[in-house]
Chain A
Amino acid sequence: MFVRGLKRKCFDGEEDIEGTLAGIKAIPSYNLQRQSLLDMSLVKLQLCHMLVEPNLCRSVLIANTVRQIQEEMTQDGTWQMINTQSTGQASLDRLVSTDILCRSSRDQAEGKHVPAYGTFNKDFESDQAQDSSETMSTASSVQAPRNLQSNVWEMESPQENKGNFQKSLDQIFETLENKSPNSVEDLFSEVDNSYYDLDTMLTGMMSNTKMGHCDSLETFSSPTNTASNSNCKSDLNDLDHIVEILVES
């Protein structure tokens, strides 16, 4: 059960130490990792099973996680949507180790040890402290391009994005809820979509994220919402295009 559309596995612990000691990439910032977690969560929410109703408990837990991240980002004032359509490399950098997220955010700020987690975690933290001082000294080569990229990615104002995002979250829940259509149009629209679901499934086109049932989520990646694009969502747009063709034919 691996989440589709993610370029790289999220690694933890010792592997991360090796990665940073290699010196090629700096330890990803907390913001970057948080963004990565947010993207992962959004993709998970959109992954609807073809024929079986999605697990409500799982969806609720993921949605709550997303809300948490959103709230924190709003408080930080770092609420920005990241556009990675420009370079694949950009997205690769974003999907980095989010191990730091597994620890509390307070530890992040204070950089203190978390005694409960055993010795190998402690090693990681001391390595990290060491490494960040290293990267500070070799600053420009690593940090500068990263800053540049985030400037490029900054697209829309935080407020607008938040609105879009909230709307999308609401639509996700509407989808989960509106399995019992309460209007005739809903009834027929659902039936129609299921037909195409079966069709596309049989023709093996079901390669990626959502299909008919989650089509309220289409507005999540609608043309108006230019900022909320990631690699996963650009795939979604392709899929929309294909579905559109099917509908028209």
Chain B
Amino acid sequence: ADIISTVEFNYTGDLLATGDKGGRVVIFQREQETKSRPLSRGEYNVYSTFQSHEPEFDYLKSLEIEEKINKIRWLPQQNAAHFLLSTNDKTIKLWKISERDKRAEGYNLKDEDGRLREPFRVTELRVPTLKPMDLMVEASPRRTFANAHTYHINSISVNSDYATYLSADDLRINLWHLEVTNRSFNIVDIKPANMEELTEVITAAEFHPHHCNVFVYSSSKGTIRLCDMRSSALCDQHSKFFEEPEDPSSRSFFSEIISSISDVKFSHSGRYMMTRDYLSVKVWDLNMENRPVETYQVHEYLRSKLCSLYENDCIFDKFECCWNGSDSTIMTGSYNNFFRTFERNTRRDTTLEASRESSKPRAILKPRKVCTTGKRKKDEITVDSLDFNKKILHTAWHPTENIIAVAATNNLYLFQEKVN
């Protein structure tokens, strides 16, 4: 199994897609509750597997293009088939996943094995009949959106109009129409005329869930810009600028790096947005630009270890974050296969671990705690014994129920709220 690089539920939560470093997409489907197997409700089983992207070679630059899937985004379902967008560093693809459980038999011009019948053998006309067959799930690429990004794509986001979507790389954001592959509109361009003056890059972008003209993008300097596409064709001028003033007493050489935003997500309500930087998660009210309304420390105990984390490159890890369906709880990952949830109303936070040892099926997860003082209590983990190779970068929350998907390197964990 390859390293999982993205996890995403669809709009109903019945399907869960994962993308991996090898360019494969694996889709899981939730089992329907049946009388014969009442306990199987909520289980996700493999529904479809396909190779979305292949490694490519850019001959002009003599560089490999990784096939790693950076992001998957589902389209809302409009007919029996499911559609999703998957992207690697350079190319976005629209995939159609459809089921086939019937087969037509009794063609006039073809034999059962598909060979054309000799015309003189056709002595009578018959109507083909549909016969059931074993369920087959087919994935077929419907569109390929290529050659629009010089830099590495970090985000894609489907618009609420369900007709357009944006793709963002380090310096530019493009707007696409789902039906048109040979043209895209550039809506943000922060590339300086002289690349030597480059000090800031785009790290994530997302469309507003309800207003199809509004999107946000975050930067490596810890800022978020909200743009309105009605104001101008090129949204280099932002409509709103979100930045928390820096605390001068905590300034260090690593301040900028840890302020770099790795993920931005609107709440389902569209009233708030959440950003993830290296040490914290912040919730912003879209109506207040000068500071976030809530800040949650994910692993503040790492602040004194920033130098080591810079040395081994962990400080550049890009953690994602997600909302639950009602926007009451937020979740993000950490190291040592820990992930954290924060309840916004009660301010209660929980640390859980995604590992084989602590996750027997149907067992309840035990909350974990990292020891920050000198005296380690029983069951606590010291900061120095944390495994920084076990990082949870990708998590997803079911849109309506309390089911979460957690990707721990090359394993996918699914947890569910215990129902009595």
Contacts and interface: CB of A to CB of B under 8 A. Distances in A.
A89 B353 CA distance: 43
A13 B304 contact: yes
Contact of B372 (A107, A118, A194): A118
B195 A57 contact: no
A52 to B, nearest CB: 5
A2 B63 contact: no
Given A102-B252, A105-B252, A60 B220 contact: yes
A82 to B, nearest CB: 18
A117 B304 contact: yes
Contact of A58 (B64, B150, B316, B373): B316
A11 B203 CA distance: 30
A153 B7 CA distance: 52
Interface string A87-108: 0000000000111011111110
Nearest to A44: B313
Interface in A44-68: 44, 51-53, 55-58, 60-61, 63-65, 68
B305 interface: yes
A231 to B, nearest CB: 16
Given A9-B308, A11-B308, A120 B152 contact: no
Interface stretch (B77-85, B236-244, B254-262, B340-348): B254-262
B270 to A, nearest CB: 27
Contacts of A61: 220, 256-257, 260, 316
Contact of A120 (B199, B249, B250, B374): B374
Given A99-B304, A121-B304, A180-B61, A174 B201 contact: no
B109 interface: no
B232 interface: no
Contacts of B374: 119-120, 123
Nearest to A40: B311
A174 B195 contact: yes
Contact of A193 (B62, B199, B220): B62
B417 interface: no
B311 A2 contact: yes
Interface string B367-404: 00000111000000000100000000000000000000
A25 interface: no
A179 interface: yes
A14 B307 CA distance: 14
Contacts of B303: 102, 117
A160 interface: no
B310 to A, nearest CB: 7
Is the contact region of chain A dominated by helix, strand, or loop, or is it mixed? helix
Q: How large is the interface on A (under 10, 10 to 19, 20 to 34, 35 or more residues)?
A: 35 or more
B36 interface: no
A10 interface: yes
Contacts of A102: 252, 254, 303-307
A176 B152 CA distance: 12
B251 A173 contact: no
A223 interface: no
A143 B20 CA distance: 54
Contacts of A34: 253
Given A56-B201, A65-B254, A65-B256, A12 B307 contact: yes
Interface string A1-15: 111001001111110
A14 B170 CA distance: 38
B252 A60 contact: no
Nearest to B195: A177
Given A56-B152, A102-B306, A120-B373, A191 B62 contact: yes
B312 A40 contact: no
A12 B61 contact: no
Given A60-B201, A118-B301, A170 B260 contact: no
A2 B312 contact: yes
A139 B355 CA distance: 52
B311 A9 contact: yes
B56 to A, nearest CB: 11
A173 to B, nearest CB: 5
Given A1-B313, A52-B63, A53-B152, A60 B198 contact: yes
B170 to A, nearest CB: 4
Contact of B251 (A52, A64, A104, A187): A104
17 contacts: A13-B305, A37-B307, A52-B64, A53-B63, A57-B201, A60-B198, A60-B199, A60-B201, A65-B253, A101-B254, A103-B252, A107-B249, A170-B196, A177-B195, A179-B61, A194-B62, A212-B62
Given A104-B250, A177-B198, 9 more contacts: A10-B307, A10-B311, A52-B64, A52-B66, A65-B256, A68-B256, A104-B248, A104-B249, A179-B150
Interface of A: 1-3, 6, 9-14, 34, 37, 40, 44, 51-53, 55-58, 60-61, 63-65, 68-69, 97-99, 101-107, 114, 116-121, 123, 169-170, 173-174, 176-177, 179-181, 187, 190-191, 193-194, 197, 212-213
